[in-house]
Structure 1
Amino acid sequence: MKAFIAILESYGWIRFTFIYEDINSASVQVIPHLMEAIKETDVEISNIVKLSPLASSSSLLEELERINTEQCRVFLVHASLGMGIRLFQNAKTIGMMEKGYVWITTNLITDLLHTMDSSTFSIMEGVVGLGSFVLDTSSRFHDFSTKFQTNFKIQHPVEEKNMPGIFAVEAYDATWIVALALSERNMSGQKLLDMVSSISLVGISGEVNYIDRKRAPSHMFQIINIIGKYYREVGFWSEGLGFSEVIDDRATYDTSLGYLGHIFWPGRPLDAPRGWAIPTSVKPLRVGVPTMAMFKQFVEVKYDERTQNHTYTGYSVELFKETVKRLPYYVPYEFHPFTGKYDDLVEQVYLKNFDAVVGDVSVVSRRYQFAEFTHPYTETGLVMVVPVTPYHGQWLFVKPFTLGMWALTIVVNIYTGLVVWLIERKHSPELRGSAFNQTGILLTLAFTRMFFTNGDELHSNLTRMTAVAWLFAAIIIGQCYTASLTSMLTVRRLIPKVTDYETLKNSNAVVGYGRGAHVATYLVDVLGFKRDNIRSFTSPEGYAHALRSKEISAVFLEAPFTKLFFAKYCRSFTTAGPTFGDGGFAFVSFLTYGSINHLSY
């Protein structure tokens, strides 16, 4: 059964219908192995159809018509060859051997395909079969096959199909084991049975050994594909290795059946079937949508009085629609508005008024008693938002440097001007004159010389060296000033008034929260705020006004709401403290509803 599951996973099919004939090999061997195989994967059984060995054609047709109304189009058939042929004849009659269908048979049918005629193959075109593996390239098998065909032709001269099947091969190996056991002395009864069970050998059918007096299950299978009036051997599947074209030391393996080349499915489509179809009779999911969402960007419900219909928009709604489109099966749904608390909305799933809930619904532990949640589709966490410290910047331009730095800059400027003045006054008449004029020139000389583009303005090399040194120092001072001033104009404005929630709690400050009783419970039970010191708000404008008017000192918002809030109020508020634990937003589904649970994958 693991080989069958590997085929499903190759094409992303996660649901199949199991059709079996009510015989011992199904109830005792196949069904337990099938359940064990799917337990380790995400594959589910959509339906189980039991066929009576004495079922009439009309009852077979009735069962096929019933499962054809469902959306699953992948079928696993475990039945005898006679029942299988009758089943496929009826399936072809009602169009279930056309494009879009997938039929896979177990070894009960596959191992006997060599006995079928071409007319039967045409009925089963597109079927993929899993058969028992036989190493038919060995010399021992060749010798056995030659002798078998010779004897068979003598006994059945009219029969054209004389190749040995798996049952003949296994019987040959079993005979060898009994012969080996009888070669020992005094072998009879229980002693002979124990001896046979303990023998292990490599026969023409592969490795032969017994577990609990039953032949150990094979770990290799042959894969065949029926095309037209014949069938072809596609390749092999080995447990723990995957699919391969051959079985030898040079074999290469892959996890996908597509590695073995193109498979001809019923109707011969160019691509593999998707494994599902829109069912003719299925009730759509009833999806509840909250009408009282705080941020309309996540979910918004509008009512059109003219058409008397609701429209549902927002990130959560669009994400749900797109996710459902990508599911590997069809899921019809319809939205229904709900006005009330979010806890009550989730409880509606438990009460079976809704099958699922879509919206800005937080994952909270107490809600798990009513429903299940998919994986969160938003950032998780609870964030504290506080006002920023107001800053009056009339003299901001002098803040980048300390008083000592400003004094040092002025002294260096005057000193450089004095040096240039002393050296250049003999060569420049403009550096002479009254004491008042000389003082003004002295104070500005170093600054103005930085902008001289003509080197001839300076007559002494000492002056030029002084000017270069001052220019280098001025560039560094200017860059530091610009960087510091830029930082003050941006970062300084975002300094929060409060840096942690402990300060608020110890000062008995009043805080707010966006919405949801679970946030209030977290503030009281986990963070330790007094219930009298927390207030609820229903809109971002409400708690923005309360923060500005100092009605509250901080507000606690879920992380996704914080980003939307800052998109509108980024200049007045900022976050503070750590991000507290919160489950984020997720879709809600009923405890046993598998379709929605697949949205988590």
Structure 2
Amino acid sequence: MDFTFFAIVLLLAQGATADVERGVIGAIVDYSSRFGKEQKVAMEMAIEDVYYDKTGQSCGLHMNTSQREPYQTVVAAWDLINKQKVKAILLPHTWEEASLVAEIGNQAKIPVLSIADSTPLWATKRWPFLLQASPDQNAQMKAIAAIVDSWEWHQVTIIYEDIDSFRSGVIPYLIDAIREIGAEISNLVALSPFDSSSLSTELESLKGEQCRVFLVHLSLPLATQFFVKAKEMNMMEKDYVWITTNPFTSLIHSLNASIISSMQGTIGVKSYYPQKDPHFQNFHTSFRKRFSFENPEEDNHEPGTSAMQAYDVVRTVCLAMRERSNGDQQLLDKIMLSKFNGLGGNVQFIDGKVAPTQIFQIINVIGKSYNELGFWSYGKGFSKTIDKRAQYNTSMSSLGQVFWPGGPRTTPRGWTPPSNANPLRIGVPTRSSFKQYVNVELDPLTNITNYTGFAIDLFQETVASLPFYLPYNLSPFDGNYDEMVEQVYLKKFDAVVGDVAIVAKRYQHVEFTHPYTESGLVMIVPVRTQNSNRAWLFVKPFTKAMWVLVGAISVYNSFVVWLIERKHRPELKASFFIQMGVVLCSAFTTLFSLQGGKLRSNLSRMTMMVWLFVALVLTQTYVANLTSILTVRRLEPTVTDVESLRNGNAMVGYCIGSFVENYLVEVLNFHRSNIKTYDSVQEYADALRSHKIAAVFLEAPLAKLFLAKYCKEFITSGPTYKVGGFGFVFPRGSPLLPHVTKALLNVSESGRLRYLENNMIASEKCSDGELVDEMSRLSPSSFWVLFMFTGSTSTVSLLVYVVCNKRFGHKIIRRLALVVMRRWWHHDQKTFPRKVHDKI
């Protein structure tokens, strides 16, 4: 379309057809900025598009310039209201300017629509005619936090422009979003928009700190100066991370090559507009033609976010003006009820603010422009595309390779040892009762402090496992553990290494690595010999099943011998009771004596020989096991539970300087006067032996060491109380903490931690007599081969005897049949059929 025709249409809309138009919209624009140039073109296009939607239905547009000066903004607003008689005012600038015009518009009862980055929550209540026509920044800040969380960065520095709209309208959202993901704000740097001379000073200060993740929330003019200066100071190199927000990211396309080259590897977040939408494509094509014609000095003609927002806002007001309104309040209401499909999606106001944007585009500056990495959707996450087939992921890594500052393929870890920092100062406790964990000794000859112990060795192994060099110096601390932990909070120590328990209240000031010992608090008491009834100890060598099997196999073997020897020995042909007595007597005399009677049959001799061998093994094993049981002490704790200690008003002990005292008082309800402290392992043992205390409470890893040394005198009793184990201490939000924790886990999973722990307790380990329990009793499983041998021998002898002696075999069968029939007959022996009895 010819631009001359555009100009004619614009003149008609502004004055020539005053009888047709419904009203005039005023706008305060900064023509000298890229923002203002884009917004001017976009607003004019909106006026024309609405005019052609409905022939003869349009509205006028009158624009004043402010040059971003508050005084000029107020003058421009009064001119629009009093001279131009506008029905609404559009402010495409900062909140500082919007707040000045909002008061004027409220008095004149003219709607004021602001597309500033943010509008405070209280503003729309104070000025009812003020509307926020740009989406709030809350969702955008969550997108930035999701990027930080994706790469596991734990500290960030926020750099923002020191103006009210950024300071109070955006930064609180960003701080909340960062803290929601568990990261910490390392520093907040406010840059003055009027004084760029301080950039070098601020950047030099940031360069000397550990944090290397920077969130930049600056306007276009200040941001360009900032990145040029950062490039000059070598801060766009490896290990640095730069993330920019929408106010700057949306205009990166307008930057020249020299500025783009100074911000290589930067990640940007900007509002998303559906570029495949026909309405957007028409706007995009027309905008490029018109913008290039009106601004030939600009190299890039792409529309930014502010241009599209200005287009939608002007169109919103025009559509509301097309309906007849009786007064400004009704126009405000109609704008509030507006709902149509704009360039960025549905345009709708909620509580005086346009509905928030749900989708943001993630870009990566590289070369002469930028790559569109993907998108972030509120409540869904990251995706490569925005359509029904999109696959969402919580990590930005799903978007593919990112070009980082300095060009490395590996992801920056987000921090680096400060260039002007000394080695880390590590605090080490000197009052540890267990020198095996940490021992601090001063060599009087060399005046050098030596640090030894399990905790020190483990820390050295952990530092060696870090993927970078970490210099440190160990420093002794002579005080209790709470005081030592507080030194980290006060920044007198950079960390603490030792037997420091992980306790909830200490998290108020510091953070801990993953615990490197088992957790728990245990009670240790003296042992005493158990005074239980020992009258039945003689049956303890064998289990019940073993006794039953021995008896059964003895009777069975004796029966076989009796049956075979019966015809050779007259005494075995006596009455039934006498014969049974002989069988039983033979069974048990054979078991406990190797002297058997004279046997006539080879079958009975073979049976008895095998059984005598088995009996020999059983009797010798029984005697040995019984002797062991009678000589082993059976021990039990002198105190079985905490309640008996409290009820008896007993004294208890704990390690001086630890958290245990408060736990005993606040959780286990001991009187503080009944608690004593001790400095060494020997003092614990002496106090328990002399009955000065009835029990001592130690953390589980310390209890293991104590019992390794005094395993014959003391024992744990009662439950294990759940408390944290030991860990290394670091300041809250320390960028070192996740790396040290990961290295500590690597040491643990490699088996090196267990090796160090075993070496620590090896010299203290002692052996004690085993207590009598079911594990010391012998069961049939220990002798099944012997029982099978003797049982098989006896069975074979019995079968051979029966087969060789047919007459006896027939007699046995007849007797068994008679016994069975008598058992099941309904009458007694007198009435049993005589013929049947005689026949059998």
Provide TM-score, normalisation by structure 1.
0.78
Rounded to whole Å, the distance in 2 between the matches of 1:28 and 1:535 is 54
Pair 199,559 (structure 1): closer, same or farther in 2 beyond 3 Å: same
Aligned counterpart in structure 2 of residue 458 of structure 1, from 603, 611, 619 = 603
Rounded to whole Å, the distance in 2 between the matches of 1:483 and 1:124 is 86
Within 5 A, what are the aligned runs for 1:238-257?
Answer: 238-257=377-396
1:34 aligns with 2:179: no
Check conservation: 2:228, 2:262, Cα contact below 8 A.
Answer: yes
Check conservation: 2:429, 2:476, Cα contact below 8 A.
Answer: yes
- Structure 1 residue aligned with 2:66: none
Rounded to whole Å, the distance in 2 between the matches of 1:238 and 1:75 is 22
- Structure 1 residue aligned with 2:705: 564
Within 5 A, what are the aligned runs for 1:51-450?
Answer: 51-56=191-196, 58-156=197-295, 161-186=300-325, 188-282=327-421, 286-318=425-457, 334-342=473-481, 345=484, 357-362=496-501, 374=512, 377=515, 378-389=518-529, 398-400=538-540, 415-416=555-556, 418-425=558-565, 445=590
Cα shift at 1:313: 3.2
Within 5 A, what are the aligned runs for 1:476-487?
Answer: none
Indicate the SS of the match to 1:209. strand
Q: Percent identity?
A: 46
Check conservation: 1:104, 1:128, Cα contact below 8 A.
Answer: yes
Q: Which runs of 5+ in 2 are unaligned?
A: 1-140, 573-582, 595-600, 742-840
Pair 84,508 (structure 1): closer, same or farther in 2 beyond 3 Å: closer
Indicate the SS of the match to 1:595. coil
For structure 1, which segment, 572-581 or 324-333, has the greater mean C-alpha deviation from structure 2 after superposition? 324-333
Cα shift at 1:100: 1.5
Pair 310,481 (structure 1): closer, same or farther in 2 beyond 3 Å: same
Q: Which runs of 5+ in 1 are unaligned?
A: 433-437, 450-455
- Structure 2 residue aligned with 1:538: 679
- Structure 2 residue aligned with 1:18: 158
Check conservation: 1:129, 1:224, Cα contact below 8 A.
Answer: yes
Rounded to whole Å, the distance in 1 between the matches of 2:632 and 2:422 is 56
Rounded to whole Å, the distance in 2 between the matches of 1:486 and 1:13 is 67
Check conservation: 1:350, 1:370, Cα contact below 8 A.
Answer: no
Pair 352,236 (structure 1): closer, same or farther in 2 beyond 3 Å: closer
Pair 502,14 (structure 1): closer, same or farther in 2 beyond 3 Å: closer
Corresponding letter in the other structure for 2:441 = K
Aligned counterpart in structure 2 of residue 46 of structure 1, from 176, 179, 186 = 186
Corresponding letter in the other structure for 2:338 = I
Pair 408,254 (structure 1): closer, same or farther in 2 beyond 3 Å: closer
Check conservation: 2:426, 2:495, Cα contact below 8 A.
Answer: yes
For structure 1, which segment, 172-181 or 342-351, has the greater mean C-alpha deviation from structure 2 after superposition? 342-351
Check conservation: 1:413, 1:446, Cα contact below 8 A.
Answer: no
Pair 267,540 (structure 1): closer, same or farther in 2 beyond 3 Å: same
Instruction: Using CA pairs under 8 Å that are at least 6 residues apart, name the structure with larger relative contact order, 1 or 2.
Output: 1
Check conservation: 2:442, 2:448, Cα contact below 8 A.
Answer: yes
Count how many residue pairs are aligned between Structure 1 and Structure 2: 578
Aligned counterpart in structure 2 of residue 577 of structure 1, from 715, 718, 722 = 718
Corresponding letter in the other structure for 1:564 = L
Check conservation: 1:374, 1:597, Cα contact below 8 A.
Answer: no
Within 5 A, what are the aligned runs for 1:504-523?
Answer: 512-516=653-657, 519=660
Corresponding letter in the other structure for 1:301 = V
Cα shift at 1:142: 1.4
Check conservation: 1:74, 1:101, Cα contact below 8 A.
Answer: yes
Cα shift at 1:166: 2.4
Rounded to whole Å, the distance in 2 between the matches of 1:202 and 1:341 is 67
Check conservation: 1:389, 1:495, Cα contact below 8 A.
Answer: yes
Cα shift at 1:275: 1.3
Corresponding letter in the other structure for 1:186 = S
Pair 264,187 (structure 1): closer, same or farther in 2 beyond 3 Å: farther
Pair 373,75 (structure 1): closer, same or farther in 2 beyond 3 Å: closer
Rounded to whole Å, the distance in 2 between the matches of 1:247 and 1:311 is 62
Q: Deviation string for 1:420-470 (max 9, x for gaps)?
A: 4433337999x99xxxxx999876656899xxxxxx95379xx98x999x9
Cα shift at 1:291: 1.7
Corresponding letter in the other structure for 1:47 = N
Indicate the SS of the match to 2:707. helix
Pair 232,491 (structure 1): closer, same or farther in 2 beyond 3 Å: farther
Corresponding letter in the other structure for 1:12 = E
Pair 25,304 (structure 1): closer, same or farther in 2 beyond 3 Å: same
Rounded to whole Å, the distance in 2 between the matches of 1:335 and 1:320 is 11
- Structure 2 residue aligned with 1:453: none
Indicate the SS of the match to 1:20. strand
Indicate the SS of the match to 2:170. helix
Rounded to whole Å, the distance in 2 between the matches of 1:531 and 1:133 is 64
Rounded to whole Å, the distance in 2 between the matches of 1:272 and 1:406 is 68
Corresponding letter in the other structure for 1:51 = L
For structure 1, which segment, 236-245 or 120-129, has the greater mean C-alpha deviation from structure 2 after superposition? 120-129
Indicate the SS of the match to 1:99. coil
Pair 474,193 (structure 1): closer, same or farther in 2 beyond 3 Å: farther
Rounded to whole Å, the distance in 2 between the matches of 1:99 and 1:403 is 73
Q: Deviation string for 1:112-165 (max 9, x for gaps)?
A: 122233343222211111112110111111122223233334445675533333
Pair 341,213 (structure 1): closer, same or farther in 2 beyond 3 Å: closer
Indicate the SS of the match to 1:495. strand
Pair 233,402 (structure 1): closer, same or farther in 2 beyond 3 Å: closer
Pair 408,550 (structure 1): closer, same or farther in 2 beyond 3 Å: farther
Cα shift at 1:252: 0.8
- Whichever of the two has the greater Rg, that structure is 2
